[in-house]
Copies of this chain bind each other. A is one copy, B any other.
Amino acid sequence: LRRSTSYFILAVMCPSLSSAASYTDSSDDETSPRDKQQKNSKGSSDFCVKNIKQAEFGRREIEIAEQEMPALMALRKRAQGEKPLAGAKIVGCTHITAQTAVLMETLGALGAQCRWAACNIYSTLNEVAAALAESGFPVFAWKGESEDDFWWCIDRCVNVEGWQPNMILDDGGDLTHWIYKKYPNMFKKIKGIVEESVTGVHRLYQLSKAGKLCVPAMNVNDSVTKQKFDNLYCCRESILDGLKRTTDMMFGGKQVVVCGYGEVGKGCCAALKAMGSIVYVTEIDPICALQACMDGFRLVKLNEVIRQVDIVITCTGNKNVVTREHLDRMKNSCIVCNMGHSNTEIDVASLRTPELTWERVRSQVDHVIWPDGKRIVLLAEGRLLNLSCSTVPTFVLSITATTQALALIELYNAPEGRYKQDVYLLPKKMDEYVASLHLPTFDAHLTELTDEQAKYLGLNKNGPFKPNYYRCWLGAACSSLGGGGGGDTAAYICACVRISSKLSV
C-alpha cells in the first residue's frame, strides 16, 4: 500500500528525527486514539491524535523548526496585510512533522482553513499532531495507524458537515484517490491539487492521460529549486552522513565506485572526493560519462573495479545495476548502498539464498556472510540510504514547504482559464520566488537589473530570468534518477516542456 517516496518516511527509522518521542512514549497507553475522548484547551474535539497532553512538547519542536524555515515566516509577515488564501479550505495529507506544522500554521496565517491527515502510518510525530490540535487544527493522525485507521483519518478530513474543501495538498496521491473514489462531486468546488511526491505525480499524469483529471494539478516535485536541493546539494552531504552513522568508517583513502553520474551521482562523487576517497564512476550515457572524465573521475565498467573497491554506491534509477555476480566478487567488508530513486538498483533479492547468512549488526546495517567468511556490509537493505540512515536538513524541507505554499496560492488565485484540467509545473517566476525567499538565510544580496540592462537582455526586472523550459536543466538528474527520460516516467517530465499539454510523446 504505502509506496511513500517522500523524505519524511525517515522519521520512522531515524531516531534523531523523532527525538521528541522518547519522553512521550512511556506515558502512552495502548488505547486507540479513535476510542479516546479528547478536547483541546479551547474545548474543541474536532481532531484525533494520540495524546493532546503532549502539545507542549510538540510546540517546542515547532518553534525550533520555525527558526530554520525563514521563507514561510516571511510569507506570514507579508500575510499581515493581504490574505492570499482567504476563503481557501485546504485538505491536506502529508507526513506530520514539525516542518509540516510550520507550513500548516503558515497557510492558516495566509487565511486558509485546513484539515489534515497523515500520508504515512508510521511517520506522524504524535506531539506535533497534539500541538496542532491544541492550537485548533483539525488533525487526524498518529504514529502506528492501521490501514483502516489510515483511511478513516482521511475520511474524517473530507467528510465533514458544513465544510467542503476547495484545495487539495497531497503527498502520494491517496487523498486525491479517496476523493475521486468516494466523493467525486467534491471536485466541482475544488480549484486545484498540489502534489508533492513522484508517485502522486505519476498517478496524476495517468489520470490526465486517461482524460479523467477534472481539475488543474500542480506538480511541485519537479520544481527546479526543490530538485536541485533534493539531489545535488542534499546528497552531497547525506552520502557522508549516511555512511558515517551506519559504519563509522573513515573516508580518506577509500576506493569507491559510484554508479550513475546524474545530479545525485555528482553530489556523491564531489563529497567523497573532497574527503579523500578515490572515486570511480560508471555511466551509460556518453555525455554524462564525458562530464565524469572532466571532473576527474575514472570512468569504468563495474566489473573492472568490483574486486578492489571498498564502497559501491548506486544512483542510476535503473534496476539490477549491482548483481549477485558483482556481490560475489566484492572483497571482504565491502560496503554496498543505494542513493538512487529505485529500490531495485542492488539485486538484494539475489542475496536471499540459503548459503548466505544475514546478520543484523546495527539498525539499517546487515552483514551478508559468504560460506568462506567474506562479509558484505549492506546498508538499509538496498533502500535509499539518505532516507533511511541520515536526516534531511530542515532547510531542504523549507524549500519544499514554501513551494507547496506558493503552488496553493497560485492555483487558488489564478484567473479562470490560466490553468486547465492538466498537470502543471510551478511557473518559473514562482520557482525563482521560492529561491529568493531563501537567500536571506545566507545573508545573500541579489543584484537588480538596471532599466537599461533589463531592456538590453529583454527581461523583466523582476524575472522570470529563465524561460519556463529551463527546468529541463534538471534533465541530468532525471536521467539518472527517473529512468533516462524514457517511457511513462519520462512522459510527465516532458511536460515541463510542453507545459499543460496532453501526454502524447
Contacts and interface: CB of A to CB of B under 8 A. Distances in A.
Interface of A: 16-17, 19, 60, 64, 67-68, 224-225, 228-229, 233-234, 236-237, 240-241, 244-245, 248-255, 270-271, 273-278, 282-302, 304, 308, 317-321, 332-333, 361-362, 375, 390-396, 431-433, 435-436, 438-439, 441-450, 452-453, 456-459, 463, 465-467, 469-470, 472-476, 479, 483-490, 493-494, 497, 505
A450 B436 CA distance: 43
Contacts of A284: 446-449, 465
A275 B237 contact: yes
Contacts of A443: 255, 308
Contacts of A436: 286, 289
Contact of A444 (B64, B293, B485): B293
A366 to B, nearest CB: 13
Contact of A457 (B286, B288, B317): B317
Given A278-B298, A293-B442, A299-B439, 11 more contacts: A225-B287, A228-B291, A233-B294, A237-B244, A275-B296, A286-B465, A290-B435, A299-B442, A308-B443, A472-B497, A497-B497
A318 B250 CA distance: 28
Contacts of A394: 248, 250
B467 A469 contact: no
Contacts of A438: 290
Nearest to A398: B250
Given A447-B282, A490-B467, A275 B276 contact: no
A64 B362 CA distance: 12
A296 B278 contact: yes
A294 B438 CA distance: 11
B393 A250 contact: yes
A447 B316 CA distance: 12
Contacts of A255: 442-443
Contacts of A229: 294
A236 B442 contact: no
Given A301-B447, A432-B286, A494-B467, A251 B237 contact: yes
A245 B251 CA distance: 17
30 contacts: A19-B362, A67-B333, A225-B290, A228-B287, A234-B250, A237-B250, A237-B251, A237-B252, A240-B240, A244-B391, A245-B245, A253-B293, A253-B294, A254-B442, A270-B274, A278-B297, A283-B447, A284-B449, A286-B436, A286-B463, A287-B432, A287-B435, A293-B439, A293-B442, A299-B446, A318-B453, A457-B483, A467-B485, A469-B494, A470-B475
A390 B295 contact: no
Contacts of A271: 274-275
A319 B452 contact: yes
A42 to B, nearest CB: 25
Contacts of A489: 457-458
**Which of A290, A445, A476, A484 has the most B CB atoms < 10 Å from its CB?**
A290
A437 to B, nearest CB: 8
Contacts of A453: 318-321
B287 A224 contact: yes
Contacts of A276: 233, 236, 293-296
A458 B446 contact: no
A293 to B, nearest CB: 4
B296 A273 contact: yes
Contacts of A275: 236-237, 271, 274, 296
Given A294-B252, A308-B443, A318 B278 contact: no
A277 B285 CA distance: 21
B274 A391 contact: no
B445 A465 contact: no
A291 B321 CA distance: 31
B393 A249 contact: yes
Ranked 9 nearest A-B pairs via Cβ? A458-B487, A458-B486, A274-B274, A299-B444, A250-B393, A253-B293, A286-B435, A286-B436, A252-B294
A287 B232 CA distance: 14
